[in-house]
Amino acid sequence: MLMVGGSAEAQLADITQISPTVPGGAINKSFTQEIGAGRGNILVPDSSLFIIARDPFRAVRRGRQIFQRKFQVAQGNGPKTDDGVGNPSLIGGDPSRVAGLADSCAACHGRPRGSAGFGGDVVTRPDSRDAPHLFGLGLQEQLADEMTRTLRAIRTAAQAQAEDDGAPVTRILRAKGVNFGSITANVDGTFNTGAAGCAAMTPAPTPCVVGVDPDLRIRPFFAQGGTISIREFLVGAFNAEMGLEGADPDLILAAAGGTVLTPAGMLLDGQVDKIEQSPVGSPTTDGDFDEVPDEIPVSIIDFMEFYLLNYFKAGLGPQTAPVLAGRAVFTQIGCNSCHLPTFTISRDRRVADLDTVFDPVQGNPLNRLFATGTVRVLNGLAGVDDFSGFPTLKIPAGQPFVVNNIFTDFKRHNLGNNFAERNYEGTFQDLFITEPLWGVGTTPTYGHDGRSNTLEDVILRHGGEAQVQRDAFAALSQPSRDMVTAFLQSLILFPPDDTASNLQPKNEAAPRFPQNGHGAIALTPLFNNPADLE
């Protein structure tokens, strides 16, 4: 997937490659040091499982540095040749898999500066895809997984009832307040999920599973809703965007029908879900014939998964009177029927949360935002002593967490021909998962394909299942439309290293403030050894 638009932002080399003269000018560890002792376990120092369990904030920061890292040809970047094009003959002639230009995750997800944000268009289809931001990715994974479990529990209960009654049983499929239609359990153990296309019928017949596949697995990643987990997403992206192959034992086991709990706490069960396979089946396999095996070792995958699980959710800009009025109009015209603002996670797997809001007093002049970080582990930073002689375990508290201002329903919808996109084989993609709106104020252009220049354009582009809401917006006066877009523009992203926080507040006495002393969302103070920089 070649990056053909936009610009790469804040990609970094490490200190073995360049000699920075300012803090943050380079990654402080070489790639070999980031790999460390491999995956290991919680008793193997410098392994990924040891660091995630005992020094999790370092693990998050290490994942961030890997995300920013510029990979080199000697490390396996590109499928075969360093000509910026690649060799499609080695990848089955698939035009969507011609890596070679992207050399870091930040090449496509790098704005605002230094964040896992949005980026340029990438060639996945003739009509392109606008690379989405990754803020709050772990919250999305957790919500989708919990909703899947709820839907499947309803299905299981219906099957048990049908067996007891000796007759078919139909149940409404509802998870976290979102209706996914209905399913009928038959006495023989089979299920009726409705005829093909039943979701487009008015009214929808019963039974009819709506907005999710018949297997009831919500797939929150990619515009079409195609991937279950962060781990599959990142292993696939390393391969597709950069030609970097990882032999991930977790995906290999789950894809073969096994069950595995990843280091970030995601349960992958190959018995009930189709899990995406690793690009290669062994660390010794050179699948792209570039003479570099084991390009992405499993410890690197572990750190990246943990980073994206814990990555910060989007923030809020100034909540002015027009913004608040716009939010009310957004609700009145029915946009919130799909873009739901609030969900609750039953058991949060993250180790911290961050609230980022407009605060001109505590914020710095760069963006006037201030972030408040909260540790979410058992016993706080004191952790849990396992009497191993090593630093204590920092175990996620696993408490409920209210996710505000996400604005999605995790369902696939048909928004009409204005949103349809062509596939390479000539078919059309019509169904797209509801895009979470958090961060939308910072991410032009708009739509999954980046074809809409303004927020008003992309709203008016809606059709299909959203035709009524689109027409209600079109009927508004221009001042009312402007209030809606003002509200959407208040849902913002931010550059963590340039945003003041309670972890590192601004220091106006610093020389040449705010170039120095602007503060940051710095996890370093939470490391077991803050002097050992990542």
Confidence grade of residue 1 (pLDDT, cut at 50, 70, 90):
very low
Reported confidence tier of residue 108, pLDDT bands at 50, 70, 90:
confident
Decide if 462 contacts 470 (C-beta within 8 A). yes
- CA triplet 219, 223, 226: central angle to 5 degrees? 35
165-192: average pLDDT: 98
The answer to the question of residue 191 being in a domain is yes
Write down which residue in 178, 209, 240 finishes a domain. Answer: 209
Determine the structural domain holding residue 482 and report its residue range.
315-492
Q: Is residue 488 part of a domain?
A: yes
Q: Would residue 320 count as lying in a domain?
A: yes
Q: What is the pLDDT of residue 301?
A: 99
Distance of alpha carbon 373 from alpha carbon 501, whole angstroms: 7
Domain boundary among 164, 187, 209: 209
- Alpha carbon distances (Å) from 376 to 220, 349, 372, 385: 24, 9, 13, 17
Neighbours of 19 (CB within 10 A): 8
Residue 342 has pLDDT above 90, yes or no: yes
pLDDT at 82 over 50: no
Report the CATH number that the domain containing residue 430 is assigned in CATH: 1.10.760
Query: What's the mean pLDDT in 31-51?
Result: 99
**Residue, of 130 and 528, whose pLDDT is higher:** 528
Q: Give the whole-angstrom CA distance, residue 303 versus residue 308.
A: 9
177 inside domain: yes
Q: How many CB atoms lie within 10 A of CB 46?
A: 13
Residue 222, domain member (yes or no): no
Report yes or no on 510 lying in a domain: no
Say whether pLDDT at 522 is over 80: yes
So what's the pLDDT on residue 506? 98
**336 and 465 both lie in a single domain:** yes
269-308 pLDDT tens trace: 999 999 999 999 999 998 877 889 999 999 999 999 999 9
What does the pLDDT read at residue 125?
57
What are the pLDDT digits (tens) for 150-172?
999 999 999 999 999 999 999 99
- Classify residue 443: in a domain, yes or no: yes
Average pLDDT, the chain: 91
* 177 & 320 share domain: no
Give the per-residue pLDDT at 391. 99
Share of the chain above pLDDT 70, in %: 91
pLDDT > 90 fraction of the chain, expressed in percent and rounded: 77
What pTM, to 2 d.p., does this model score?
0.93
Total number of domains in the chain: 2
Which of 12-16, 275-279, 288-292, 524-528 shows the lowest mean pLDDT across its residues?
A: 288-292
Last residue of a domain, one of 172, 190, 209: 209
Structure tokens at 337: 């029927």
Residue 522 lies in a domain: no
